[in-house]
Amino acid sequence: MQKAGHNMIKPTLLIGTIFIGMTLVSASVAAAETPASLMTGYAATAGISPQDLSAERGATLYRSEHSGRAGTSVSCASCHTANPKQPGRTRVGKRIDPLAPAANPQRFTDSAKVEKWFRRNCMDVLQRECSAREKGDFIAWLSQIK
């Protein structure tokens, strides 16, 4: 009984140490992201080269309309407007800072924030999560806007 208890501690400690380590690494990385580094990461996850990400596909993803709640159609542009250099509005009417890094350098610099909003907004617009390639395409398009 005592032996079993002793064995339990080791994996817990190990997992704990790994978790703390990962938290530290992700915390230090989070502030240092750029649109290009995020694209590299998403391309790697998708198993393609960053050059194979497509701004054109990203633009299509941004503009394509999907059936949303109560028979209305919804797209990224519904809230972020047709021009991502312009501020958008949430459903409740609050301002959304522009999505394009050219108009808002804060965009795509924090991977946790980027992941949070892809998760939420892909579920809202597409009713599913976005793939790594779609995320990479999306940033590829937004970051080439001058």
Partner 1 sequence: MNYLLRGIGVLTAVGTVTLLAFSLPSGVAHGDGGGNVMPRLAHKNWQQECASCHLAYSPALLPRATWQRLMGKIDNHFGDNASLDPVTQTDILRFLEANAADSGTSQIGRRVMRRMAAKEAPLRITETLWFVGKHDEVPRTAWSRKSVGSAANCAACHSKAEQGVFDDDSVRIPK
3-state secondary structure 72-125: CEECHHHHHCCCCCCCEECCCCCEECCCCCCCCCCCCCCHHHHHHHHHHHHHHH
Retrieve residue 57's tokens: 């596909």
Q: Give 49 or 119: the residue with its C-beta nearer to partner 1.
A: 119
Cα pseudo-dihedral 105, 26, 53, 56, rounded to 10: -40
136: left (phi over 0), alpha (psi -120 to 50) or beta: alpha
Applying CB under 8 A, which of residues 37, 55, 102, 124 lies at the interface with partner 1? 124
Query: What are the CA-CA distances from residue 139 to residues 15, 74, 105, 118, 126 (Å)?
Result: 33, 20, 13, 11, 17
Retrieve residue 87's tokens: 């501020």
Q: How far is the CB of 22 from partner 1 (least distance, A)?
A: 14
Q: Give 11 or 93: the residue with its C-beta nearer to partner 1.
A: 93
Binding status of residue 90 toward partner 1 by CB under 8 A: yes
Q: Give 3 or 91: the residue with its C-beta nearer to partner 1.
A: 91
Binding status of residue 128 toward partner 1 by CB under 8 A: no
* Stretch in the footprint of partner 1 (CB under 8 A) among 4-12, 41-49, 55-63, 90-98: 90-98
Q: How far is the CB of 117 from partner 1 (least distance, A)?
A: 9
Binding pattern for the stretch 36-75 against partner 1, x by CB under 8 A and - elsewhere:
---------------------------------x------
Q: How far is the CB of 52 from partner 1 (least distance, A)?
A: 29
